[in-house]
């Protein structure tokens, strides 16, 4: 049973560029959440997708956008990259609505470095 | 706004000993969930243990147990019989029935032989 898979694992971009990160949820899961984890910090919630729609959003600017596909996979897009966007981006999947709170399965993350 | 505080940036323990990691949180909600996650060097976050606020009984999972003090808004994790594989970052997290987890800044635990 494949867990949550993310790609790429590492990438380097320059300021002003755009980046797309991808996530495939655990088999049987239909909800995908994205978190940003800066070095030495805990993860911070970016947004969550369910039924191809953004259900909730954290305190992140509009430069951060996402998408969920019919097969439940998801993309995180960041435009106009800033040095401060350098972080580990974690994807987490879960199943359904209430009742699965916190039962998130995380991927290994995509390490983004902005130069 | 809800906040989660982990005041111990680093902890160390000898193999087979017991260690307790601290976590406090702030919320005005009455119904919520608390979690401890482990993040080993492989980076993959793994759920260690979960506590529902309406349950008075402290959660346990094998060598892992919590001390949940709702009035004090405290949620500590006790690891018994520590093993080398327990070496990792440990994050305390809070959820108030919304779709997001709020994490603390983490405690780096080193288990040495």
Alpha-carbon span B43 to A109, nearest angstrom: 7
Set of chain A residues whose Cβ sits within 8 Å of the Cβ of B99:
31, 33, 48, 50, 55-56
Distances in whole angstroms, Cα of residue B88 to Cα of each of A5, B12, B24: 21, 11, 20
Please provide the average confidence, as pLDDT, over all residues in chain A. 92
Mean pLDDT in runs of 10 for chain B (113 residues)? Answer: 93 98 94 94 89 92 96 97 97 87 96 96
Mutate to test the interface with B, among A88, A101, A105, A107 (most CBs of B within 10 A): A101
> Which pair of tokens denotes residue A9?
């694992």
**pLDDT grade for A99, boundaries at 50, 70 and 90:** very low
Set of chain B residues whose Cβ sits within 8 Å of the Cβ of A9:
none
- Is residue B2 within 8 A of residue B96, CB to CB? The reply is yes
Residues 6+ apart with CB under 8 A from A44: A35, A36, A37, A38, A58, A59, B103
> Is pLDDT above 90 for A22?
yes
Q: Residue A98 has what pLDDT?
A: 47
Q: Residue B56 has what pLDDT?
A: 85
Residue A91, Cα to own-chain centre: how many angstroms?
A: 4
Q: Residue B98 has what pLDDT?
A: 78
Q: Residue B97 has what pLDDT?
A: 76
Task: Identify the closest residue of chain B to A42 by CA–CA distance.
Answer: B105
- Is residue A4 within 8 A of residue A106, CB to CB? The reply is yes
Q: Name the minimum distance, in Å, from the CA of B7 to any CA of chain A.
A: 13
End-to-end Cα spacing for chain B: 41
> Is pLDDT above 60 for A69?
yes
Among A5-19, A45-59, A100-114, B45-59, the range with the most confident prediction by mean pLDDT is: A5-19
Higher pLDDT: A10 or B2? It is: A10
Please compute the mean of the pLDDT values over residues A28-33 and round it to a whole number.
91
Q: Residue B25 has what pLDDT?
A: 97
- Cross-chain residue pair A41–B106, CB shorter than 8 Å: yes
Task: Identify the closest residue of chain B to A54 by CA–CA distance.
Answer: B99
A106: nearest CB among B35, B45, B102: B45
> Is pLDDT above 90 for A104?
no
> Which pair of tokens denotes residue B33?
């969930």
B43: nearest CB among A44, A58, A109: A109
- Cross-chain residue pair B33–A102, CB shorter than 8 Å: yes
């Amino acid at each position: 049973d494949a867990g949550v898979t993310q790609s790429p694992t590492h990438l380097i971009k320059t300021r002003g560029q755009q980046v797309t990160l991808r996530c495939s949820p655990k088999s049987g899961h239909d909800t995908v959440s994205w978190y940003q984890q800066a070095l030495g910090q805990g993860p911070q919630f970016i947004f969550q997708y369910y039924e191809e729609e953004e259900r909730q959003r954290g305190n992140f600017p509009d430069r951060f956008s996402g998408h969920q596909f019919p097969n439940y996979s998801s993309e995180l897009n960041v435009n106009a990259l800033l040095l401060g966007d350098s972080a580990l981006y974690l994807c987490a999947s879960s199943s359904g609505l209430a009742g699965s709170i916190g039962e998130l399965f995380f991927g290994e993350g995509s390490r983004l470095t902005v130069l | 706004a809800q906040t989660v505080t982990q005041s111990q940036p680093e902890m160390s323990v000898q193999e087979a000993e017991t260690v307790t990691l601290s976590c406090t949180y702030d919320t005005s909600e009455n119904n919520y969930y608390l979690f401890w996650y482990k993040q080993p060097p492989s980076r993959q976050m793994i759920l260690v243990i979960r506590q529902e606020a309406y349950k008075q009984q402290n959660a346990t999972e094998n060598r892992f147990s919590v001390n949940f003090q709702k009035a004090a808004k405290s949620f500590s994790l006790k690891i018994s019989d520590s093993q080398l594989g327990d070496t990792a970052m440990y994050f305390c997290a809070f959820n108030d029935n919304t779709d997001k987890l709020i994490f603390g800044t983490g405690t780096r635990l080193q288990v040495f032989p």
